[in-house]
Each structure stands twice: as C-alpha cells, then as structure tokens.
Amino acid sequence: MFDLGMSPGRLNLAGLATLPNLVRKLSPSILQGWMYHGNIAASIASIAVPRSSLAWNIRHSIHNIGTEKRTTRMTIALGAKLSGMTSVIVYNAHRSMDQHCALGYKGKSIIIPNGFDTTTFRPDQAAREQIRHEISVDNDAIVIGLAARFHPDKDHSNFLEAASVLHQTYPDVHYVLVGRGVDRSNKDLIVRVKTLGLGQVVHLLGERTDIARVMAAMDIATSSSRTEAFSNTVGEAMACAVPCVVTDVGDSARLVGSTGRVVPPRNHHALAKAWQDVLALRGSDHGALRAAARERIMDNFSIDAIVDRYRDMYLNLEPQR
C-alpha cells in the first residue's frame, strides 16, 4: 500500500505529481479508478504505463447537473473529456450510465451493481426484539422504516406525508427513521412530525452503526427518494427478508423486481397505497414475499456474485486506447 499524502477535499499537486513515477515503477496490468477524482488520477497515471488497461468506476447519479457543486461539475466535465482513454467504465446503475453518456462520457460501459453481505444482513429475530424494545414498540406491531441521511434527495417529507395518510386507517403502525441528521436535534424534522400528528408513532434513531439490526426490526423498508443511483439500504433490507416499497428512481425498481412495490417519486398517496397493499398480505403470502426478497439478493446481488462479475471483467480487459 502506498500513501501519496493527499487529504480528502484538498488537492495536493505535489502528491499527485508522484503518482506517474510510482505507477511506472509498479508497472500494473490494470489501473482502476474509483469515482470521479480517482478516475482522473488513474487516467493521469496511465500515461506512464500505456500498455495497461484503464478501468473507471462511477457510482453517482446526476438528477440535475445544475444542482451539483461547482467543483463537482468541473470534475464531471473533465471526466467526459478523458473518458475516451478508458478500457471500460463500470457503473453501478443503468440510470447513472444513461445520465453520464448524455453528458458526453464515451467508451465501453458496463453495469455491475453493488453487492451485499448476506451473512451480516439477514433475518434476525433477536435483533428485531431488541430494537423494538429500545423504541418501546411491541413485537407484533407493524414497523415501516426509512434508512437515509437527511438530504432533499432522500425526500423525508414524502415519507412523512405518506405516513400521515396511512395513519388515518392504520393508526397503530410505527415509523422508524435512521440516518445522519435524522434525530431529535433536527428541529425542522421534529416540527414536521408534530404538524402531521405523528409524534407518537415516529421514531428518530439518528446515525447508527448497527444498521443490520435496525433493518431486521422492520416489516416494510422504504426508499422515498426523488433521485438515486443504486440504493444500498434497499438491498440491505431485502437481504434481511424485509419487503421494500421504493420510488421509481435510479435502479430501485430493477433491484426490487417482483419482491416489493414501486411507486412514482414525490407522490405520497401512491407511497401510502403501496404500504397498504403490502400490509394487506396475510400468512403465507406475506411470508413468501419476505423469502423472495432475500432470495433475490442472494441469487443476484450477493458479494460473491458481484466479485465474480468484477473478476470476469478484469480477465477480459483490453489495453487502454
């Protein structure tokens, strides 16, 4: 392992300048960039080893290029100019690939989605009971969850509006929100919860390190986002055998398949109706949906399955152009 002495968010030209010499000395067969800045650094380094293969990895969706930070827009634009050097560009979502191609990204593109650890994320009755005890919710109560940092793209307002609709007919359903900024210090969120009359059924857990345990405590997991690339939290919930209701953004619908429900973004009535449809399932039908969610992750999105796809890609790479 080599350290160029570069800190996140701070460009160190001296450190970057040492990269080509280091790469020339190592003489790798493949150079792999990871996300925008890493892709550009790998491209610069590849000049020193022209017979190597150059792979990029892009894991970002662009809902509106105008809303990105100025430095991010500049980096994306530079990436478009350098993209023709690549042997392959790996995207983790079809929507992300389409968006970048529209922005001028060239070269061979493939999709390799995120993979999930199905030993960590799994059904866990003990965790289910412990988390419910922590938030003072009965084991047989219905819990609908959202795991996402507090950000406009995650559309917590959409989730809470849907909860207020469902609350009219299912007043005993509880809602768990977990993620950075989703806690009692978020005054805007607290006011919104109280205004909607959900103070007794909404639980704000904030940022957690035991997300697998929290997922296992849910009956339905949700992505209420207005934009996504590939939602890790949806796949993690499915691996815990939790059915998911997701907005049709990014590759969420591809991930869920027939094991959950897909609704338009920014439509809280549709979101509430989808929750109600899942809650209406009883007995073996509900059990089958839970089993199908985990099975879909294990068959198509497990860590081992994704590792195999990366291995096959690397074995078949051509040298950079």
Assess whether 162 and 271 both reside in one domain: yes
Q: Quick one: the chain helix, strand, coil %, rounded to 5? A: 45, 15, 40
Assess whether 178 and 286 both reside in one domain: yes
Assess whether 173 and 289 both reside in one domain: yes
Q: Which helix (H) or strand (E) holds 84?
A: none
Q: What is the pLDDT of residues 16-38, one digit of tens each?
A: 788 888 999 999 999 999 999 99
144 domain residue, yes or no: yes
Assess whether 154 and 70 both reside in one domain: no
Q: What is the pLDDT of residues 202-234, one digit of tens each?
A: 999 999 999 999 999 999 999 999 999 899 999
Assess whether 60 and 195 both reside in one domain: no
6 domain residue, yes or no: no
8 domain residue, yes or no: no
Assess whether 110 and 211 both reside in one domain: no
Q: What is the pLDDT of residues 82-116, one digit of tens each?
A: 999 999 999 999 999 999 999 999 999 999 999 99
Beta-carbon-side half-sphere exposure of residue 48 (alpha carbons within 13 Å): 17
278 domain residue, yes or no: yes
DSSP, residue by residue, 44-73: HHHTT-TTSEEEEEE----S-GGGS-HHHH
DSSP annotation of 168 reads T
4 domain residue, yes or no: no
User: What mean pLDDT is reported for the chain?
Assistant: 94
Q: What is the pLDDT of residue 11?
A: 64
Question: Whole-model pTM?
Answer: 0.90
What is d(CA 91, CA 98) in angstroms, rounded to the nearest whole number?
10
Assess whether 260 and 147 both reside in one domain: yes
Quote the domain boundaries for residue 107.
Answer: 13-115+304-315
Confidence of residue 321 (pLDDT cuts 50, 70, 90): low
Q: Beta-carbon neighbour count of residue 30 at 10 Å?
A: 18
84 domain residue, yes or no: yes
Q: Beta-carbon neighbour count of residue 297 at 10 Å?
A: 24
120 domain residue, yes or no: no
47 domain residue, yes or no: yes
Q: How many domains does the chain have?
A: 2
Assess whether 134 and 105 both reside in one domain: no
In one letter, which amino acid is 292?
A
Assess whether 98 and 139 both reside in one domain: no
Coil, strand, or helix at residue 147?
Answer: strand
Whether 294 shows a pLDDT value over 90: the answer reads yes
DSSP annotation of 169 reads T
Beta strands in the chain (DSSP E): 30-32, 53-58, 88-91, 109-111, 143-147, 174-178, 202-206, 220-223, 244-247, 261-263
Q: What percent of the chain has pLDDT over 70?
A: 98
C-alpha dihedral over 176, 296, 210, 61, to 10 degrees? -80
Assess whether 154 and 287 both reside in one domain: yes
Domain harbouring 52, CATH code: 3.40.50.2000
Assess whether 111 and 157 both reside in one domain: no
DSSP, residue by residue, 221-250: EEE--S--SS-HHHHHHHHTT--EEEES-T
Alpha carbon separation from 71 to 10, 58, 74, 76, 152 (Å, rounded)? 12, 17, 5, 9, 20
Assess whether 86 and 143 both reside in one domain: no
**C-alpha torsion sign, points 76, 91, 96, 305:** negative
What is d(CA 160, CA 171) in angstroms, rounded to the nearest whole number?
14
